[in-house]
């Protein structure tokens, strides 16, 4: 039986966080045997806000090396760079002309990010349509993402359904896949906010390439509360609940098991255990990362990914274009 296709992408903006790892990459690693997996670097998305052009390609390469270091197997995944395949931007235009200003204006991420920049680009606004193109080009069935990207996958679904109705069956309707524990890893200092690559306070963010001692310190000084009870209650105990989420994601335990395990412990003991798990993860990834970063293997993987995805995307793009009436 043909495997279903799973696809996701991450932006090369800053070293990925524990949130990115748990929300997207870990899910890809865990499901790579079961699905035909596509994983890319969304570098075109990153330029919706200003990027240093000297750094962009370095960050892209670093992210690919991190994918592999995190356990993404190049034999089981098609790995590529979005900007190396012209059909993403091409299809995006066709889809833009089938997407509405009103629905794009309702995207949470646009509303948030446009507030932060006085003079934001049109690209920031049309960003979800490019994301829809990334997904729809490859007949994607499932899209593992953190909860912050769920709305974008839903708009990709809406656009696909609308296109199919208007022009005939063309696109597979994708489903978002949100891992239960990793829906949203929160900032360690301010646990009511998402842990973000672009956070202002580095103390709130664990980056996969953080120095191990620094990462441990961040966990040990994470904001909690004055109750001293290790109980999952995101509303009233956001700090502890976030640490529980991190712990269960890294150990594959359940909330109940963790509450039981630490029912007689204080916050310091619990935090130390969380820090141990984070240390284990970071040590493994960082050792592999250094080996991979400058290897020739990386370029070979990217060349293959580029050639394969161009071939697939070209066919889908031509089909969409013709259905819209572009032919001689």
Q: Where on the chain is the footprint of ligand TYM (CB under 6 A)?
A: 8-11, 19-20, 22-24, 42, 45, 131, 134-135, 143, 145-146, 148-149, 152, 182, 184-185, 194-195
Residue 148 Cβ, how far from ligand TYM at the closest point, in Å? 5
Q: Cα(109)–Cα(116) distance, rounded to whole angstroms?
A: 11
Assess whether 203 carries a catalytic annotation: no
SS3 string, 209-231, reads: CCCHHHHHHHHHCCCCCCCCCCC
- Residue 137 or 302: the one with the smaller Cβ distance to ligand TYM is 137
Which of 194, 218, 237, 316 is an active site residue? 194
Assess whether 194 carries a catalytic annotation: yes
- Residue 154 or 261: the one with the smaller Cβ distance to ligand TYM is 154
Which of 197, 203, 231, 323 is an active site residue? 197
What are the CB-based long-range contacts (under 8 Å, 24+) for 257-260?
258/230, 258/232, 259/230, 259/231, 259/232
Q: Cα(173)–Cα(135) distance, rounded to whole angstroms?
A: 9
Q: Is residue 297 within 8 Å of 77, Cβ to Cβ?
A: no
Tokens (6 digits) for 246 = 């991190």
Residue 106 Cβ, how far from ligand TYM at the closest point, in Å? 16
Residue 264 Cβ, how far from ligand TYM at the closest point, in Å? 30
Cα–Cα nearest to 233, from 258, 251, 196: 258
- Residue 86 or 226: the one with the smaller Cβ distance to ligand TYM is 86
Within 129-172, strands assigned E span 142-144
Residue 183 Cβ, how far from ligand TYM at the closest point, in Å? 7
Tokens (6 digits) for 123 = 């690209």
Residue 239 Cβ, how far from ligand TYM at the closest point, in Å? 14
- Residue 199 or 325: the one with the smaller Cβ distance to ligand TYM is 199
DSSP percent split of the chain into helix, strand, coil, nearest 5: 55, 10, 35
- Residue 8 or 62: the one with the smaller Cβ distance to ligand TYM is 8
End-to-end CA distance of the chain: 38
Active site residues: 113, 194, 197
């Amino acid at each position: 039986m043909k495997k279903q296709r799973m696809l996701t992408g991450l932006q090369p903006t800053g070293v990925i966080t524990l949130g990115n790892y748990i929300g997207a990459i870990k899910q890809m690693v865990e499901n790579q045997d079961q699905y035909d997996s596509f994983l890319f670097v969304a570098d075109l998305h990153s330029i919706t806000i200003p990027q240093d052009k000297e750094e962009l390609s370095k960050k892209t390469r670093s992210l690919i090396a991190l994918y592999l270091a995190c356990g993404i197997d190049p034999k089981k995944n098609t790995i590529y760079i979005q900007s190396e395949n012209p059909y993403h931007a091409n299809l995006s235009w066709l889809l833009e002309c089938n997407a509405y200003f009103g629905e794009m204006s309702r995207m949470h991420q646009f509303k948030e990010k446009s507030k932060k920049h006085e003079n934001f680009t049109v690209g920031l606004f049309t960003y979800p349509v490019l994301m829809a193109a990334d997904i729809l080009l490859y007949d994607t069935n499932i899209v593992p993402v953190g909860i912050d990207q769920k709305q974008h996958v839903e708009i990709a679904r809406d656009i696909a359904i609308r296109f199919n109705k208007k022009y005939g069956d063309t696109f597979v309707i994708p489903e978002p896949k949100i891992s239960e524990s990793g829906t949203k890893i929160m900032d360690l200092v301010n646990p009511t906010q998402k842990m973000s690559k672009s956070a202002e306070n580095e103390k709130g963010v664990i980056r996969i390439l953080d120095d191990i001692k620094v990462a441990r310190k961040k966990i040990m000084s994470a904001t909690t509360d004055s109750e001293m009870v290790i109980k999952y209650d995101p509303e009233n105990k956001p700090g502890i609940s976030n640490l529980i989420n991190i712990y269960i994601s890294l150990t594959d335990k359940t909330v109940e098991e963790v509450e039981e395990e630490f029912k007689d412990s204080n916050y310091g003991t619990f935090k130390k255990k969380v820090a141990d798990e984070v240390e284990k993860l970071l040590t493994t990834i960082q050792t592999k990362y250094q080996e991979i970063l400058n290897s020739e293997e990386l370029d070979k993987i990217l060349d293959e990914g580029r050639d394969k995805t161009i071939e697939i995307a070209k066919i889908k793009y031509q089909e969409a274009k013709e259905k819209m009436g572009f032919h001689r």
